Structures are given as structure tokens and as C-alpha cells.
Structure 1
């Protein structure tokens, strides 16, 4: 059975946001003189931990992982791995990356600007994704109401 894609309207903007993030990071690092400091080590350590959570999330989703919002009518909602604790562990990783990768290089403007832009994008995306999951399963909201979207919200 074919999946149903939700969120087509914002997907290209999300891709543009992520591409722009890397361009901005490259430009800011190129035109400043970053150094590798103790705070760089802390930021890098946080990013490495986040990547382990990403691997856990993606392996938990298995063949259901996709960058688009595609809901399969008869597929079960994944509730294993980090999804036992959070609704959106991979988005938590993206939040962490966008906030902390620039801090490795003291790219503060990139960190601030894209953290704010990403917060706006995820607000849109998560609403669409949860609505699609609830529509397809009929009980997504009830099953996940006790789980936080991220570790901090």
C-alpha cells in the first residue's frame, strides 16, 4: 500500500533552510578567525552524543525513516528505541546540531539565526506531522500524550 505524503508545501522551505544553514556556517567561519577552544570541545561532545541519538532513532524507524512526512495507512506507530521517551527524537537531534555545530567554530550569528528559523520550521512541521499521524492512526495523540516532543518540551 502506498504512503500518503503530508507537508509538501513546507518541505522545500525546510530543505532551503538546511542548505542555507551550511552556507551561512561556511561563510561565517571563512570571514572570522575561529579557534578551537574548551567551549568548542564541549559543543563537539554534545554534537557527537546527538549523533548517537540520531543513529538510535533512525535504526528504530528502520525502513519507515524518511525526510518527508509519509504516513502509511496500516503501518504501526513506532514506539521503540528513543520513541519510548520522546515523540520526535530526530528533531531533537536537528535542534542540537543547528545550535551546537556553529558553536564549535564560534559562529554565533549562524547559531542564533538558524536556531530561531529552525524553531519556526519545526513548529510548522511537527503540527503537520502529528496531524497526519493522528488522522491515519486515529489514536496517535492519545498514545503519545504523555511523551514529550523533545527532552525539554
Structure 2
């Protein structure tokens, strides 16, 4: 039970820290001429992630931890750090393009167009599995896939409109 609470608190603190970083990067990108697109679906993403985390607190706070799934989740956190580090000051939770900037092609972006979304999709399913919440993992994975479909379409359109060569 204590382990479950500690894990959920750490994930919450991590996500809140990421929101602070994202806000700082967003502010800087917009100040440098960045253009936000897809803002209409952003509340869906925030709502989904908040509901996912709140639901985990409600259902998993007193559950034993499956340390194998927890190990997978930790590996996903390393992948998340790689994604954020690869984008540097461009990483944000919003879709912002800066005219004249080239697309990032380092780190995991050498292999995938949207590695952040792969990590997020896996996290949405894996963390509930660490608490043996299989149905919860399936339901939120389906909901996340629906939201990501909208998000990736919007981001792909925004990035295609940059008209800049890839780096």
C-alpha cells in the first residue's frame, strides 16, 4: 500500500513538473514567433490525463505493486526523458511551430515521427497493469488512442506546414 501511494505521488509530481517545463517552453516559443495549432483539443488531453491519474489514486492506492510492470514503467520514464531532452526547449504539451525552424531528427526522432506519443500510449496502459488494473488499462488505452488520433493529425498538419528541411 505504501509503495502504491509513493509511486502515484512520484508520477503526479513528475507530471506537474513537466507542465511547468512545458509552460516555460511554450511561453518562450510563442515569444519567438511560434504559432499554436490544435488548441481546441488540448482540454481533451488534459482531461484524459487528469482522469487517468485521479482514477489510479482512487483504485490503486492500496494495491500491491507488480514490480515487473513497474520496471517496464521505469524504462518508459527513461524513454520520456530521452524524448524531452532531444527536443530541448521545443518540448511542450501543446502544438507549437516556429516558422523557419527545422524539424528535430536526433534522439528517438531519428526512428519515429512521434516517439513521445508512443511513450505516452504505453505509460497509459503499463502503470495500471503495475497495480493489476487490466480493465482500467484497456479502457484508458482506447480513450487515449482516440485522443491521440486527433492530436497526431493536428501535429502532422502543423509540422508539414513549416516548410523547412529536416535536420
Q: Could you tell me how far 1:84 is from its partner in structure 2? A: 0.3
- RMSD in angstroms over aligned alpha carbons? 1.7
Task: State the match for 2:82 in structure 1.
Answer: 56
Task: State the match for 2:63 in structure 1.
Answer: 34
The answer to whether 1:137 aligns with 2:163 is yes
Give the TM-score of the pair, scaled to structure 1. 0.83
Gaps of 5+ in 2: 1-31
Task: State the match for 1:146 in structure 2.
Answer: none
Query: 2: CA distance between counterparts of 1:17 and 1:41?
Result: 25
Query: 2: CA distance between counterparts of 1:74 and 1:45?
Result: 40
Gaps of 5+ in 1: 144-153
The total of aligned residue pairs comes to 136
> Contact conserved, 1:102 with 1:110, CA < 8 A, in 2?
yes
Deviation track 1:65-112 (CA, whole Å, cap 9, x = no partner) reads 110000111111000011001111111111111000011111223211
Which stretches of structure 1, 4 residues or longer, exceed 3 Å deviation after superposition? none
Query: 1: CA distance between counterparts of 2:98 and 2:120?
Result: 24
- Greater helix share, 1 or 2? 2
Give the TM-score of the pair, scaled to structure 2. 0.76
Query: 1: CA distance between counterparts of 2:72 and 2:44?
Result: 27
